[in-house]
């Protein structure tokens, strides 16, 4: 199984709520740059999950333009403070597919640490508009191998 972890682009801080924050022009440009790099990797994509927050949905829309066959399902499990173990269960339910997750920190940093290192204490950092490819034969903590990281 391949899991692609994507953190949204730079977001405006002036929204009335965290869920309503939109991408800045710089965030949009960074997303589009990383989508181009990702496209060149010829990734295998079967299913997508996206946070219900506006900036994540905007980021997923850029990926949808490059990969029109991928359908993104909104999931409350991919919000900033979600439990990475809940996302691990989501991955286990979809282990026969290659999955792309579009979300936020601290979740994405905790999730990659859990998948690759088996613990969240390693605190691997996922920056804005980054794509991380994790290969997993078994969906369990510490069973992932970080194949590559794409930056804008």
Q: Residue 23's beta-bridge partner residues?
A: 11
Q: How confident is the model at residue 152 (pLDDT cuts 50, 70, 90)?
A: very high
In this structure, what token pair is assigned to residue 50?
Answer: 């996206």
**CA–CA dist 32, 20 (Å, integer):** 21
Segment 92-101 shows an average pLDDT of: 94
Residue 13's pLDDT is what? 87
pLDDT at residue 73 greater than cutoff 90:
yes
Question: How confident is the model at residue 23, as a pLDDT?
Answer: 96
State the pTM of this model: 0.95
Q: Which residue has the higher pLDDT, 16 or 98?
A: 98
Relative to beta strand 99-103, strand 2-7 is: parallel
- What is the mean pLDDT of the segment spanning 102-125? 95
Cα-based distances in Å from 80 to 3, 4, 52, 75, 83 = 18, 17, 11, 12, 9
What pLDDT does 15 receive? 79
Per cent of the chain over pLDDT 70 is 100
Distance between CA atoms of residues 2 and 5, nearest Å: 10
Predicted local confidence at residue 44, as pLDDT: 86
CB 119 within 8 A of CB 141: yes
Q: Which residue has the tokens 């029109």?
A: 68
Give the mean pLDDT of the chain.
Answer: 95
Share of the chain above pLDDT 90, in %: 92
pLDDT at res. 123: 84
- What is the set of domains in the chain, with CATH numbers? 2-150 (3.40.50.1240)
Rounded CA separation 128/25 (Å): 13
Give me the pLDDT at residue 79, please. Answer: 97
What is the per-residue pLDDT across 24-52, written as a single tens digit (0 to 9) for each?
999 999 999 999 999 999 888 999 999 99
């Amino acid at each position: 199984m391949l899991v692609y972890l994507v953190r949204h682009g730079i977001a405006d801080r002036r929204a009335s709520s965290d869920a309503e924050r939109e991408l800045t022009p710089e965030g949009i440009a960074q997303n589009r740059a990383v989508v181009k790099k990702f496209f060149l990797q010829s990734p295998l994509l079967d299913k997508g999950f996206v946070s219900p927050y506006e900036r994540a949905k905007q980021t997923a829309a850029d990926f949808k333009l490059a990969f029109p066959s991928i359908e993104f399902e909104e999931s409350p499990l991919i919000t900033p403070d979600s439990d990475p173990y809940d996302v691990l269960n989501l991955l286990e339910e979809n282990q026969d597919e290659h999955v792309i997750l579009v979300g936020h920190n601290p979740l994405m940093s905790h999730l990659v640490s859990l998948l690759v290192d088996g613990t969240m204490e390693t605190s691997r950092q996922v920056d804005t508009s980054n794509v991380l490819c994790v290969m997993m034969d078994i969906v369990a903590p510490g069973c992932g191998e970080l194949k590559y990281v794409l930056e804008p």
